[in-house]
Every structure is written in C-alpha cells, then in structure tokens.
Amino acid sequence: LCGHGETAAREIAQRIVDEVAELSLPHAASLDHQHVSVSVGAVTQLPPVVSSYDAIVRQADSALYSAKHQGRNRCVTLDAQAAA
C-alpha cells in the first residue's frame, strides 16, 4: 500500500476481511465453510524504495499464503524493508 506504514496497512487489510465476513455471502461451493471469506497479504514500503516491484509482489504473495496457512479469513502484512 503506497504511502502507508505497516500499522495502517494492517488496519485497511483487516477492515477488508471484516467487511467481507459481515456480508455473510453463502459459499455454495464449499463443504467446510458456510460463508465466503477472504485472506489478504499486504506489503508496505516507505521511501526510499529499495526493493524492486517484483520483489514487493513476491513478498505480498508470501504474506497472502501465510494468511491462508494460518487458517484463512485473515490478513498478514509485512514491511518490505524489514523483510529485506
């Protein structure tokens, strides 16, 4: 998330997770879960930008899969500078 620190990114990502859950959309394709849920992976990087865009996308993808492996329906955020 451009221009936001990790705390703000986590708040935004958690709001997305919570608002999708509040919709209580039926998950007809799932035998395990009654309602649709989302997992969000986000990476923040404040100037100066030291990582390539490809590296940031890989880190966001890693955060997303971390959220899924932790039980889905959650968010995981990373600070690109701390992860580098």
For 18-63, write each residue's pLDDT tens digit.
Answer: 999 999 999 888 777 788 999 999 888 877 666 788 888 898 999 9
Q: What's the number of CA atoms in the CB half-sphere (13 Å) around residue 34?
A: 4
Strand, coil or helix: 71:
coil
pTM to 2 decimal places:
0.76
Distances in whole angstroms, Cα of residue 49 to Cα of each of 53, 65, 77, 78, 79? 9, 24, 17, 15, 12
